[in-house]
């Protein structure tokens, strides 16, 4: 179970900087992306490998989110786009809000979405995740936005069904659907080359400023009921984890790029 921080009260986001100085840095995430201020750019094609086929995956309540990992030898990786190297899948997790009008960490034109999925990948050249996080270009995170609708999204079916099994902090289960990584990491969105990208940080302590963010522009959807399942897991203090998004941080002169394929 990850460190001593929460989303409310004396361990909430405005206090993280006391124990974790980097959380007060100048390259923090998330941010509000204002479309009128972005710089357009044509990056090489963003490519996904190792997503096809099935992956044995595990789902954990780590007290801060629902997290999914895989220990298969063939895990997804990405290359191209704004990163000039290969990055390997480490884990994915979700951020949500107390109601459907909030939940995403990144905002677009100051608009919040209901949920955000983060796919965390580490730079293969550094040999391991633990070595990669010591380097300032160690991680890339893919951000996918979801808007709440009446219609369930089939990609969340197996996860939502199994969330009741990980209500307690520290619970860990095998996901019955071996295609869950494929569905979540590389969804069949026609607009995989349509993304914003910028330099930032982890959105939780220790807030390391080592992340190339790739935020896909086109939101997907999740139903109100599917979303409600995420809010039912417990956090370390035994209360429901009703929300787990960090407020937006100052851009402080950074450039946000938008890929034009």
Q: Please tell me the total number of residues recorded for the chain in this structure.
A: 261
Query: Choosing among Zn ion, ligand SG4, none, which partner's interface includes residue 62 (Cβ < 5 to 8 Å by kind)?
Result: ligand SG4
Residue 118 engages Zn ion in binding (rule: CB under 5 A): yes
The owner of tokens 């289960």 is 173
Residue 246 engages Zn ion in binding (rule: CB under 5 A): no
For 10, list phi and psi in degrees, rounded to 5.
-75, -10
Size of the site for ligand SG4 (CB under 6 A): 13
Do 28 and 247 contact (CB within 8 A), yes or no?
Answer: no
Q: Catalytic residue among 55, 64, 93, 95, which?
A: 64
Please provide the DSSP assignment of 153-191 as one string: PGGGHHHHHHGGGG-STT-EEE-S-TTHHHHHHS---TT
| Part in contact with ligand SG4 (CB under 6 A); list of ranges 159-167, 170-178, 201-209, 252-260 | 201-209
| Part in contact with Zn ion (CB under 5 A); list of ranges 8-16, 76-84, 115-123, 227-235 | 115-123
CA-wise closest residue to 201 among 191, 192, 189, 210: 210
Give yes or no: 64 in active site.
Answer: yes
CA-wise closest residue to 196 among 76, 48, 35: 35
**Residues 83-142, interacting with ligand SG4 (CB under 6 A):** 91, 93, 118, 120, 141
Residues labelled catalytic: 64
Q: Where along the sequence are the contacts to ligand SG4 (CB under 6 A)? A: 2, 62, 64-65, 67, 91, 93, 118, 120, 141, 202-204
Q: Where along the sequence are the contacts to Zn ion (CB under 5 A)? A: 118
């Amino acid at each position: 179970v990850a460190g001593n921080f929460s989303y409310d009260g004396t361990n909430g986001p405005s206090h993280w900087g006391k124990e974790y100085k980097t959380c007060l840095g100048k390259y923090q995430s998330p941010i509000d992306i204002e479309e009128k201020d972005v710089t357009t750019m044509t990056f090489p094609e963003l490519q996904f490998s190792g997503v096809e086929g099935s992956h044995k995956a595990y789902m954990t309540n780590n007290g801060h989110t629902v997290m999914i990992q895989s220990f298969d030898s063939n895990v997804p990786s990405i290359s191209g786009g704004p990163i000039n190297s290969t990055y390997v899948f480490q884990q994915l997790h979700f951020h949500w809000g107390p109601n459907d009008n909030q939940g995403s960490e990144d905002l677009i034109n100051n608009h919040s979405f209901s949920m955000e999925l983060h796919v965390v990948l580490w730079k293969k050249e550094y040999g391991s995740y633990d070595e990669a996080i010591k380097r300032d270009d160690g991680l890339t995170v893919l951000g996918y936005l979801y808007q709440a609708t009446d219609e369930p999204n089939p990609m969340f079916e197996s996860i939502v069904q199994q969330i009741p099994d990980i209500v307690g902090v520290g619970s860990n289960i095998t996901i019955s659907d071996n295609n869950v990584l494929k569905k979540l990491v590389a969804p069949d969105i026609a607009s995989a080359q349509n993304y914003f990208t910028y330099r930032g940080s982890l959105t939780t302590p220790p807030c390391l400023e080592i992340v190339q963010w790739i935020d896909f522009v086109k939101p997907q959807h999740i139903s109100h009921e599917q979303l409600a399942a995420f809010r039912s897991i417990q956090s370390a203090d035994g209360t429901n984890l009703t929300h787990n998004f960090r407020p937006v941080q100052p851009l402080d002169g950074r450039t946000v790029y938008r890929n034009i394929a």
